[in-house]
Structure 1
C-alpha cells in the first residue's frame, strides 16, 4: 500500500531476507515443536545449516540466490535471459552457500550446457521460486511478462511444477510493486497465474484459510490435509523426520502455505513474518515468500527496524564477497533495481516510437 517505489523495492528485498533469516532458525521443525520451544519465532536465532553461516539474522540460500539474480539484472540494466544470468553466476556463485540443485547447475554450466535447460531433471525443490522476486520487480506492473520471464529464468535450476511456481511468484511480485497495491491484489494475481495442480493446491489452501478464520486453525488443518508427502527426507539435522513425517522443500507445499498466510494476516507486515517463520516445515522459504510480498506492499518503512538493522549488519560478509566496485547490500541493491526499472521505461518508450513509425 506504499506509493514510494524505492520503499517498495527495498521492502521486498529486505523483507524477504528477514523472513528467510527468521524461518531458518526452525527450518524442518513441526509447528508443535516450534510452539513448545519458542511459542512463536519473533526474533533471530542461531541455526545449523551446512550452506549458511547460522549466526542469528544470517540469510540462507534463498536470499543468496535472490541477490545473484538482482546482480545480473542491474549489471545488464533490466530484463535478462538465462544466458545473462548464467554469466553472472559463473563469475560470482559461491557453491558453499547454495544447495544441491544449484551445485548441479554450476557443474552443468561449467560443462558448457545450455542455461535454458540446466534445470531439467534436477532435485525438485523450491530453489527457483524462493529467489525469483527480482524478476517481479523488474517487471513491476506487468505480471504477464513477469510470469514469462520468471518461467524462463527458473529453467536454469528447476523444471516442472517448481518452474511453474517460480513464474507464479514473479507475477505476484510484479503486482506487489504497483503503487497502492494490496496483499489481496497479490493473492489474486498468484491465483490467476498459477497453472494446473499448483493452482489447485493454492485454491485448497485459500479455502482452508477462509474456513479457519485464524492462523492457528489454518496451520493445524494445513498440516492435516495439505502436506506434501512425495518429497524425500532431507538428510541433515532435525529436518530429516519428525513424528513420522517427511520434511518437504517442494513448491507444491511452500507456496500454498505462504499464500494462505498472506490471506489471513498479510495486512500487518511484522505479524505475517512471524507467522510465516513459525509455520514450520520449509519455514525459511515460506518466510522469504511472505517477506517479499508484505515488504513490497507495505514498504521497508513498515518493517521492524531492529530486524532490518540486524539482518543488514550480520550479512555484510556475504556482500563483501562481491568485488569492491560492486555496490550491493539490501538498500543499495534496491536503488540499483529502481535504476534498472527506469531503463526499462526508456526502452518501452523507444519501442513505442518504433511501433508508431511502423504503424502510421
Structure 2
C-alpha cells in the first residue's frame, strides 16, 4: 500500500531520531569494545558509555544515551525549521540567511547538555564551520564549504531535503548538493546529495530497498559511488546485521580515510579526494540491504557497528522509516526519545509533510507555466504544411 507523504515523513524523522538516540552511547568504539562495555549487543536504550560522562572526555562532556538525541537530530530539526519558515525549495544562500540563525541565535534544549543553549555550542568543529564561514567571514554560500573537514556533517541532517522532494530523487540530489556546498566539499558534499536522493526515492510509491540502492548508484560520483557499490554488493550477501558488521567494515575500508582508530584519525584523514567516501552512508545502505529493508535490523546494525554509530544508524533509520512509514518505528521507543530529548518530532514531521505538499503544488504550477511558454513553433526557414 502506498504511503502518504505524512506517514513517510513521520517514519523518516522518527526513524532517524530513534536510531540516533540508540547509537549515541556506542559512538567512537569498535564492536568488540561495545560488547564488553554493555555485556553483549546493544538492542535497546542504554546509558552513557562512561558513567562519569561529565569528566571522562573534557572536550566533549556529553550525556550520550538514555534516549538523548545527538547533534544529528538537532540539525535535522534546524533544517526542518528553515523549510517551515520559507516553505519552498532551498539554495545555498538560505543556509546563511536562515540555517545559521537557527544554530546561532535560537535557544533550545540540548539533551546531551541537559540544559538550554544555542545549538552551535553543541556542534562539532565541522558544523561550527557554518557559523565561521557564513556569518563571520561572509564567504559566498555556494562555496563556503571549501576548506572544511570532509565528513558526514552535511549528510547527517539532509533527510528533510528528500522529504521536500519526495518522489523526485534527481531534484533532491540537486537541491542537497546546492545547499551542502555552504557546509561541505568533495565526498562530504556528495554524500549529502546521495542521501537526500535515497530518501526521496524511498518515499516514492512502489519504492523498494533495491530501487533505493539503484537510485543511489545512478547518482553518486567518484569514490562515493565506488564505496556504495562495494558495500552494497557485500550487504546483499549478508544474513542480518550481526553478520554484516565485520563484512561491511571490510568492504568500506579502502574508501575510508579515517583509519582503524576512529578517535585518532590518520594524517590524511578527511581531506578532499575523488577516490574516498565517508563511511557512514555506504554502511547505512549496506545494512539496509543486509536486513532486507527492515527498520530494526538496519538500525541495530548501525548501533553495534560502532565508530560513527549514531550517524550510520540514523541514516539507515531515516531511509528505512521513509520506506515503511511511521508504523515501523516502535511507538514506545518514539515516545521515550521525544520525552527524554524534549523534542516534538511528530510536529516536525507533520510540518515537513505540509511544506512538501505546498512545494509540490508550486512545482506543478511552474512546470505548467514552462510547458505553456516553451517555443514549439516552426524553425526559421521552414515552412509548415
TM-score using structure 2 length: 0.82
For the structure 1 residues 346 and 312, does the alpha-carbon distance in structure 2 shift closer, same or farther, using more than 3 Å as the test?
A: same
Q: Indicate the larger mover: 283-292 or 345-354.
A: 345-354
Deviation of residue 133 (structure 1)? 0.4
The partner residue of 2:243 within 200, 217, 225 is 217
1:240 is aligned to 263
For the structure 1 residues 270 and 16, does the alpha-carbon distance in structure 2 shift closer, same or farther, using more than 3 Å as the test?
A: same
Deviation of residue 63 (structure 1)? 1.1
Q: Indicate the larger mover: 224-233 or 258-267.
A: 224-233
In the TM superposition, 1:268-287 aligns within 5 A as 268-287=294-313
For the structure 1 residues 353 and 258, does the alpha-carbon distance in structure 2 shift closer, same or farther, using more than 3 Å as the test?
A: closer
Deviation of residue 102 (structure 1)? 1.5
Q: Which structure has the greater CA radius of gyration?
A: 2
Does structure 2 retain, via aligned residues, the 8 Å contact 1:64–1:97?
Answer: no
Deviation of residue 285 (structure 1)? 0.6
2:115 is aligned to none
Does structure 2 retain, via aligned residues, the 8 Å contact 1:51–1:99?
Answer: no
CA RMSD of aligned residues (A): 2.6
For the structure 1 residues 198 and 341, does the alpha-carbon distance in structure 2 shift closer, same or farther, using more than 3 Å as the test?
A: same
> 2:126 aligned with 1:101, yes or no?
yes
For the structure 1 residues 125 and 233, does the alpha-carbon distance in structure 2 shift closer, same or farther, using more than 3 Å as the test?
A: farther
Q: Indicate the larger mover: 179-188 or 97-106.
A: 179-188
Does structure 1 retain, via aligned residues, the 8 Å contact 2:241–2:298?
Answer: no
Aligned residues: 343
> 2:6 aligned with 1:6, yes or no?
yes
State how far apart, in whole Å, the 2-side matches of 1:308 and 1:247 are: 35
1:63 is aligned to 73
> 2:321 aligned with 1:295, yes or no?
yes
> 2:284 aligned with 1:258, yes or no?
yes
Does structure 1 retain, via aligned residues, the 8 Å contact 2:284–2:298?
Answer: no
Does structure 2 retain, via aligned residues, the 8 Å contact 1:146–1:167?
Answer: yes
Secondary structure, aligned partner of 2:305: coil
Q: Indicate the larger mover: 121-130 or 222-231.
A: 222-231
State how far apart, in whole Å, the 2-side matches of 1:73 and 1:23 are: 27
2:84 is aligned to 74
For the structure 1 residues 339 and 148, does the alpha-carbon distance in structure 2 shift closer, same or farther, using more than 3 Å as the test?
A: same
Q: Indicate the larger mover: 303-312 or 342-351.
A: 342-351
2:207 is aligned to 181
| Structure 2 stretches lacking a partner, 5+ long | 104-118, 377-385
The partner residue of 2:366 within 343, 346, 351 is 351
2:107 is aligned to none
Measured against aligned partners, the alpha-carbon deviations of 1:17-54 in whole angstroms (never above 9, x if no partner) come to 11111111100111122233332222222335827543
State how far apart, in whole Å, the 2-side matches of 1:331 and 1:302 are: 14
State how far apart, in whole Å, the 1-side matches of 2:141 and 2:292 are: 35
For the structure 1 residues 96 and 53, does the alpha-carbon distance in structure 2 shift closer, same or farther, using more than 3 Å as the test?
A: farther
Secondary structure, aligned partner of 1:25: helix
State how far apart, in whole Å, the 2-side matches of 1:61 and 1:67 are: 10
| Structure 1 stretches lacking a partner, 5+ long | 320-328
TM-score using structure 1 length: 0.87
State how far apart, in whole Å, the 2-side matches of 1:51 and 1:297 are: 35
